Chains A and B, each alone.
Chain A
Amino acid sequence: MQMPQPDASVLSRKAQIVDRLRSVLPRDAVISDEMETRAYECDALTAYKCAPLAVVLPASTEEVSAVLKVCHQMGVPVVPRGSGTSLAGGALPTADCVLLGVARMNDVIETDYDNRFIRVQTGRTNLSVTGAVEEDGFFYAPDPSSQLACAIAGNIAMNSGGAHCLKYGVTTNNLLGVTMVQMDGTVMEIGGAHLDAGGYDLLGLICGSEGQLGVVTEATLRILPKPEGARPVLMGFDSNEVAGACVADIIKAGVLPVAIEFMDRPCIEATEAFAKAGYPMCEALLIVEVEGSPAEIDEQLALILEIARRHNPVELREAKDADEAGRIWLGRKSAFGAMGQINDYMCLDGTIPVSELPYVLRRIGEMSEEYGLDVANVFHAGDGNMHPLILFDANKEGDLELCEALGADILRLCVEVGGCLTGEHGVGIEKRDLMVDQFAPADLEAQMAVKDVFDPAWLLNPAKVFPLAASESRRSVALAAE
């Protein structure tokens, strides 16, 4: 993965830049020592590392604004960072950047149950948002797998999803308002405790813009009353096709489960060896979860089980209590950990139309053989968001490159069948150069025009999302203008 040459004029001014940053922030909020900046050299896409010029850890919107003003005036690129859990390299620094971490801003500002929102500083972790309201019977719906660690700032930047978005939507559907600081330091309020925009939907535009339009420091999030209960059912099938057909039939029958998770045989075998959840050994396994009162759950599960039986399942397991429900989820929740035990792995994130599931799984199997790398599939079947896990050995020469090539081929396949490169992880650097496979030049031009409006000098997270060749003229104009 190529990154642009660091700007020598920025590198040579490191001392002045750090001095200016120190003049607007408390002493301990600016890190410039090379040993210490190294802690921020990568996010969860650990294959790529680069220590930033300096790290700033502002504690308020005002401090963020002050930092951005300095960087804007001095022509220094800024890479925003939530908790650094991006799998796409969204928070990967460049050598000439100031890395702006929001981790110190983690307060709850306001909780309002009558109007069903919570306002937080964006360094707060996803899970601790729910943690702040769950005793009162509420929750925050988007639940990415990294929810224990990931920050709301990153969730907004990447428009994160999770296992339950079939029913509750992703971040953009649960975000009511933000305080955002533009690259020139301008602070603005967009949205609020009310619904929808009075003008253009800037909130919708900012969510998922990967930290390229502004730094979001506070967010108003929709919270929902917790359902009375939830219960999963596990079903095993002897082919991916049949499992896929079962998913389609459940959806067509008018049931809207909160989650439909799918695991294929390689994934079942790996998680079984690791977590011993007692999963049946079969080709495809579904976990379907529904919500409501006990009677409502019974009503929905009866319908789902009736549909499943029509597809001759090799296993049907209904959770009778919380303990059994936990066991059903155990394997799924430890799938990624299990893979990490066996091997290094790369987690893909393409989305496909649900109807293409059997074809895509078959093709992935074929590609896996061609490349000689194992691929395990675990994904959100209700919405077609796939997470193929490619297993490789980072210590073996050429294996990472081979893995990346296979990953790119799988993502191109997703696009080919009418899907997209990324369903919830974001483009970052990982899928940046594949954007041309999904978008025509005019499509990318329209998106880059938006960045021109918000950040004319292209200083915010500049080497991400767009292929370097496509964004080069804009980034170099910015440099020349210094």
Chain B
Amino acid sequence: MRPETEAELAEMIASASGPICVRGGGTRGVNLNGDVLETGGLSGITLYEPGSLTLVAQAGTALAEIEAALDAEGQRLAFEPMDHRGLMGTSGEPTIGGVVAANVSGPRRVSVGACRDFMLGVRYVDGTGSVVKNGGRVMKNVTGYDLVKLMSGSWGTLGVLTEVSLKVLPKPETAACILITGLSDAEAVRVMAKALGSPFEVSGAAHGPLGPDGQPVTMLRVEGFAGSVAYRAERVAGLFGDMDVRIESDPEAVAGVWARVRDGAPFHGVAGDVWRVSCTPTLSAGLAAKIQADGVLYDWGGGLIWARVREGTDVRARLGTFDGHATLVRGNGQPKFQPEPPEIAALSRGLRQKFDPKGILNAGLMG
């Protein structure tokens, strides 16, 4: 199925009796039973006002098209969505609807927020074929319940997105990266906490096998106007003057290395399951040790652990109870999402039941 309009999509869902697998660009490795419903026919930027920092697009619009339009006005999606293709070994064109449905957020999550924090409005078709809108196209809006947040990250299980409205931000003039080598995981986590707790607006804090030969590097990023970036990079580096620290100020090199963090590049083309664990940052080194992973990458100052393990490994069993959750990004041997405590699971089931009473949208994935 490949609807060309929202009305067609609504009709298809209203008349569907069996499971439907919702697909944007098919780059994030969701392969479920059921008729495939492609959103690519719902494409195009419907409104873009740079002076209002607002962009509205149909859900099947290619992410590349949106990024090009923003780039032409010196703006960007600040939450830095990852490209899953390298990690998942998929091809195709990621769509903005897919980014929103999966709440895909990159390294800048730690400073500016997640995809869901930039979402202003949605239109979607629920599991009964009813068209619903929530939010809008303005930056401050508390009119009614925030279903925009609920839809962001619901992986198409509560409704199929048809249009999304996003807050965009100016692209900074330049960026610099402070690189520190020779740190253990625990030391790196302390360094990242100190940098993120400084007033110098660090917009990225990662640690992992990111050196030219895969040796561990701790990276801190600052962005903004040139004078300010130079000043803040010096100040941040100065916090760690007794360590092996240097500043990379070539913006292209900085962009390149952060794209590697964003996309989990150290795990591309290497066998094994890949997990993302969201946790209390300062507990991350200890948690990562429990996972006994074959490869680890820390982002969000430690708040996000990427871990590569042997296929089928039950990472959640190794982690035990902790403040956070583990998601299986690549692999099939375990449930994709962290099982919820009973009282939360009851609410999730209840929502699923209301929004998709037939249980046909990406059945089995969530809720």
- A interface residues (Cβ-Cβ under 8 A, vs B): 113-116, 137-138, 158-159, 161, 165-166, 169-170, 172-173, 182, 186-190, 192-205, 207-209, 225-228, 247-249, 251-256, 292-293, 295-296, 299-300, 303, 351-355, 380, 383-385, 418-427, 431, 435, 438-440, 442-447, 449-454, 465
A152 vs chain B, min Cβ distance (A) = 16
Given A193-B323, A198-B340, A442-B131, CB of A225 within 8 Å of CB of B173: no
Q: How far is the CA of A323 from the CA of B321 in the complex (A)?
A: 52
Q: How far is the CA of A202 from the CA of B197 in the complex (A)?
A: 28
Instruction: Say whether B105 faces chain A, with CB atoms less than 8 Å apart.
Output: yes
B103 vs chain A, min Cβ distance (A) = 7
CB neighbours (8 Å) of A449 from chain B are 354-355
- B interface residues (Cβ-Cβ under 8 A, vs A): 49-54, 73-74, 103, 105, 109-110, 113-114, 116-117, 126, 130-134, 136-150, 152-154, 158, 169-173, 190, 193, 196-199, 201, 224-225, 227-228, 231-232, 278-282, 300, 303-304, 323-327, 337-338, 340-341, 343-344, 347-348, 350-351, 353-355, 366-367
Q: How far is the CA of A238 from the CA of B349 in the complex (A)?
A: 57
Given A194-B279, A423-B142, CB of A256 within 8 Å of CB of B149: no
Q: Across the interface, do B197 and A225 meet the contact criterion of CB distance under 8 Å?
A: yes
For A114, A202, A444, the residue with the greatest tally of chain B CB atoms inside 10 Å of its CB is A114
A243 vs chain B, min Cβ distance (A) = 13
For B132, B144, B154, B367, the residue with the greatest tally of chain A CB atoms inside 10 Å of its CB is B144
CB neighbours (8 Å) of A202 from chain B are 150, 344, 347-348
Q: Across the interface, do B145 and A353 meet the contact criterion of CB distance under 8 Å?
A: no
Q: Across the interface, do B139 and A195 meet the contact criterion of CB distance under 8 Å?
A: no
Partner of A201, one of B49, B103, B199, B300: B103
Q: Across the interface, do B145 and A252 meet the contact criterion of CB distance under 8 Å?
A: no
Partner of A115, one of B227, B280, B304: B280
Q: Across the interface, do A440 and B366 meet the contact criterion of CB distance under 8 Å?
A: no
B174 vs chain A, min Cβ distance (A) = 11
A423 vs chain B, min Cβ distance (A) = 4
CB neighbours (8 Å) of A451 from chain B are 145
Q: Across the interface, do A196 and B150 meet the contact criterion of CB distance under 8 Å?
A: no
B283 vs chain A, min Cβ distance (A) = 9
Q: Across the interface, do B138 and A201 meet the contact criterion of CB distance under 8 Å?
A: no
Given A353-B137, A384-B140, A446-B355, CB of A249 within 8 Å of CB of B51: yes
Q: Which 8 A-B pairs have the closest CB atoms?
A: A204-B149, A198-B325, A248-B51, A254-B170, A423-B140, A453-B350, A194-B324, A198-B338
Given A116-B196, A295-B231, A442-B130, CB of A196 within 8 Å of CB of B142: no
Q: Across the interface, do A115 and B281 meet the contact criterion of CB distance under 8 Å?
A: yes
Q: Which residue of A lies closest to B111 (CB)?
A: A224
Q: Across the interface, do B142 and A114 meet the contact criterion of CB distance under 8 Å?
A: no
CB neighbours (8 Å) of A194 from chain B are 278-280, 303, 323-325
Q: Across the interface, do B199 and A173 meet the contact criterion of CB distance under 8 Å?
A: no
CB neighbours (8 Å) of B348 from chain A are 199-200, 202
Q: How far is the CA of A208 from the CA of B304 in the complex (A)?
A: 27
A73 vs chain B, min Cβ distance (A) = 18
Given A115-B280, A200-B367, CB of A161 within 8 Å of CB of B140: yes
Partner of B73, one of A252, A256, A446: A252
For A194, A200, A354, A427, the residue with the greatest tally of chain B CB atoms inside 10 Å of its CB is A200
Partner of A446, one of B147, B225, B300: B147
Given contacts A161-B140, A165-B139, 17 further A-B contacts (CB under 8 A): A115-B281, A115-B282, A138-B197, A192-B323, A194-B278, A194-B279, A195-B114, A202-B348, A204-B146, A204-B150, A384-B140, A421-B143, A426-B142, A431-B143, A443-B144, A446-B134, A453-B354
A–B pairs, 7, beta carbons within 8 Å? A194-B303, A194-B325, A199-B344, A254-B173, A385-B140, A425-B142, A450-B150
Partner of B150, one of A190, A200, A248, A425: A200
Q: How far is the CA of A421 from the CA of B140 in the complex (A)?
A: 10
Partner of B141, one of A205, A420, A440: A420
Q: Across the interface, do B52 and A354 meet the contact criterion of CB distance under 8 Å?
A: yes
Q: Across the interface, do B142 and A195 meet the contact criterion of CB distance under 8 Å?
A: no
Q: Across the interface, do A353 and B138 meet the contact criterion of CB distance under 8 Å?
A: yes
Q: Across the interface, do B49 and A172 meet the contact criterion of CB distance under 8 Å?
A: no
B125 vs chain A, min Cβ distance (A) = 10
Given A188-B341, A205-B147, CB of A292 within 8 Å of CB of B116: no
For A189, A196, A254, A419, the residue with the greatest tally of chain B CB atoms inside 10 Å of its CB is A196
Given A137-B199, A299-B225, CB of A201 within 8 Å of CB of B51: no
Partner of B366, one of A199, A248, A355, A447: A199
CB neighbours (8 Å) of A169 from chain B are 113, 117
Q: Across the interface, do B197 and A443 meet the contact criterion of CB distance under 8 Å?
A: no
A468 vs chain B, min Cβ distance (A) = 15
Q: How far is the CA of A306 from the CA of B300 in the complex (A)?
A: 36
Q: Across the interface, do B52 and A423 meet the contact criterion of CB distance under 8 Å?
A: no
Q: Across the interface, do B103 and A423 meet the contact criterion of CB distance under 8 Å?
A: no
